[in-house]
Amino acid sequence: MARDTIRFLLDGRLVEVRDRAPTTTVLQYLRENLHRTGTKEGCAEGDCGACTVVLAEAQDGRLAYRAINACIRFLPTLDGQALFTVESLKRRDGRLHPVQQALVDYHGSQCGFCTPGFVMSLFALYKSEPSPSRARIDDALSGNLCRCTGYRPIIAAAEHMHGYGDAGDAEWLARPYGAAETAEERALRQRLEALRAADSLAYEYAGQRYFAPTSAPELAALLAQYPDACILAGGTDVGLWVTKQHRDLPTLIHIGRVAELHRLERGPGYLEIGAAVSLQRAFAALMELYPQLTELCLRFASPPIRNSGTLGGNIANGSPIGDSMPGLIALGSRLLLNGSEGRRELALEDYYLAYQKTARRPGEFVESVRVPLPRPGWQFATYKISKRFDQDISAVCGAFCLELRDGRIAAVRVAYGGMAATPKRALHCEQALAGKPWSAATVEAAAAALAQDYQPISDMRASQDYRQRVAANLLHRFHLETSDAGLPTRVVAYGR
């Protein structure tokens, strides 16, 4: 059975929605319907963090908290979850929440417009980790922009906020991570578990349809019925279609409730990541296998985006500058597609046909990606080149994987993003490397072969010539970092 009412918990109280368009954002609903104006609108695209709110879900017998951007999150995707806004932190005795008090004491707020977003990002961290490192604090705040204070006092507040927690306080939102579960928190968790166990959602308003199936067969049946429907994962791209491009989306099918698409497990020789697994969870698993991916994963958007977005969505989107794809292609990952006509598997690079055109057939959906497990002798690296270190779109993203035997290249895969209309392997470059010694001369010839693989465009992020030079430089960089033969005759400069 499917129901037609959006249901979620706000401050522990049930909210039921029947009269808003499915593409209404959480931010719009909070400000216009609930008059919770502490949550601000800045960029309306998930970059500035002024709209940050926190979702809580029942996970492994406790509540798990994650910050998200309300400005690009569609209201129906809250179904079955608990929502907290900056107003939620108000305490019965009038005191400030420990996060807020720390920001006051360490002078972390000036004009105040961005402060509620900072509060909520820090609240999620406060409820998730007992004593976060400076690196973790920096990462948690990477999606929040402030143009007044600078970040020193905000970081100082984050470093001291756990010292304000009162272990005996009955108001559990003010209790830091690790405190024993209170009766109030247990009750909320149990209510969430009951909500999540409910039927799938079939919601319609003013001619717009929204479906949230709970199983892969149900998803396949819906896509067979509505082959032109927009498949919605985390909404970190689709949300902008509405807020920036003002597109009409008559039918949305959300995959976030499909149990099979949340698989994250090891198979025979590969790690399988379901299409609904968040970027945060997927990257954590990938970094455990491939520490070489750490910098790329941490520079991939911000925690609120990684908490909402999915790896499957990033892959399925088909963007030529999607940062996850070059590394996955270089590793030899394979994609599992499913639909009413059955399941099929293909190499990830074969999924991309042309600019934003993929091999997905009508009625099909991405079920999972299978990433090969590391093998002895593999050399692997990914590099992202962009104008900013954090939260920026790549000009070029390069990925390299090779296997050496007796100093010669036994196997090699090279892939780039930002160099063509799709993420693409460098087959001529690979051919110039295969079977050759891993030497500066070999790399020089392979770098020259990149001109046969790519004819990049010039745009606002980089010129054609810059991209071509950087692509070659990244190959030289990979050689320098993996070879014990010393520097090549001609040192090639490269950027971060």
Which pLDDT score, from 0 to 100, does residue 493 have?
A: 34
In this structure, what token pair is assigned to residue 181? Answer: 């579960």
Which pLDDT score, from 0 to 100, does residue 486 have?
A: 43
For 389-401, what is each residue's pLDDT tens digit?
887 889 999 999 9
Handedness of CA 20, 26, 30, 34 (dihedral sign): positive
Residues of the chain with pLDDT under 50: 485-496
User: Left if phi > 0, otherwise alpha if psi is -120 to 50, otherwise beta: which for 44?
Assistant: left
In this structure, what token pair is assigned to residue 145? Answer: 């922009």
Which pLDDT score, from 0 to 100, does residue 479 have?
A: 97
For residue 270, what is the enclosing H or E element?
strand 270-274
Which pLDDT score, from 0 to 100, does residue 286 have?
A: 97
Give the Cβ contact number of residue 287 at 10 Å: 16
Handedness of CA 140, 144, 145, 146 (dihedral sign): negative
Distances (CA, A) of 485 to 21, 213, 439, 471, 494: 62, 56, 7, 22, 19
Handedness of CA 270, 314, 365, 320 (dihedral sign): negative
Which pLDDT score, from 0 to 100, does residue 487 have?
A: 41
- Backbone phi, psi, residue 485, to 5°: -85, 0
Number of residues assigned to the chain:
496
- In the sheet that 264-267 helps form, which strands lie side by side, from edge to edge? 264-267, 270-274, 364-372, 334-339, 344-347
Residues 6+ positions from 44 with CB-CB distance below 8 Å: 71, 72, 243, 244
Strands 200-205 and 208-212: antiparallel
For residue 381, what is the enclosing H or E element?
strand 378-385
